[in-house]
Amino acid sequence: MNIKIGGATLAVILTGMLVALGVSECQRGPLNPEVADGTSDEQKTWLTIEHRIRRYDPALTEVIRNGPQTLTVRYRPGVPPESDDAWVADLLRIVGHGLAALNNAPGGKQYTHVTVQARRLADDDVELVYDMRGFDAIKTQRDGYTTFASQPRRLTFNAAALTQLKAECRNPNTRGFYPEFCERVRTATARD
């Protein structure tokens, strides 16, 4: 079946896509934060990194600098997903794009270790630790941000969160889309 699209139709489609992308970006606010006059370059860099990570999604509520190469990002979804099996998808998508925002921010590449403290049932009941040095190799692949987010160097859970995540990963959709993550969940043990 051959489908032919004329130049005018293609222009309308592309314009619609650009408008949709622009609206989405406008809803997130400016790419760079407003900073007061006299703010040091180092502080501007940090404020930009923090702003860009949090700008991606309101569920990324806090960014904490732990050292010259380490960050902690807190993931706190405001409303529960419509179904339990959506939690893994939302977490990995949002965390992946938050890590991309860090990687693309000026000075962001200096942070090579990122810990994500996530909320499944209670604050910090899920912890994912990423080694960002492998990020550039994966990010260019299709769904690369989510793929990277689904492969943390280390992940830990409290007992209740692990029980729910194991049940969620038994869902064929979740397991099919995130096989590496679900395999790690399947073999994980709960922290004390």
How far is residue 178's CA from residue 192's CA, in Å, rounded to a whole number?
Answer: 26
Is the pLDDT at 169 greater than 70? The verdict is: yes
DSSP per residue over the chain, as a string? ------HHHHHHHHHHHHHHHHHHHHHH--SS----TT--HHHHHHHHHHHHHHHH-TTEEEEEE-SSSEEEEEE--SS--SSTTHHHHHHHHHHHHHHHHHHHSTTGGG--EEEEEE-SSSTTSEEEEEEGGGHHHHHTSTTHHHHHHT--SEEEE-HHHHHHHHHHHTSHHHHHH-HHHHHHHHH--B--
Q: pLDDT by residue (tens digit) across 21-41?
A: 444 444 567 778 787 888 888
Q: pLDDT by residue (tens digit) across 45-77?
A: 999 999 999 999 999 999 999 999 999 999 999
Q: pLDDT by residue (tens digit) across 151-167?
A: 999 999 999 999 999 99
How far is residue 94's CA from residue 149's CA, in Å, rounded to a whole number?
Answer: 9
Q: Find out whether 112 and 69 touch, Cβ atoms under 8 Å.
A: yes
Is the pLDDT at 6 greater than 70? The verdict is: no
pLDDT for res 175: 93
Phi, psi of 119 (to 5 degrees): -110, 115
Output the pTM of the full model: 0.81
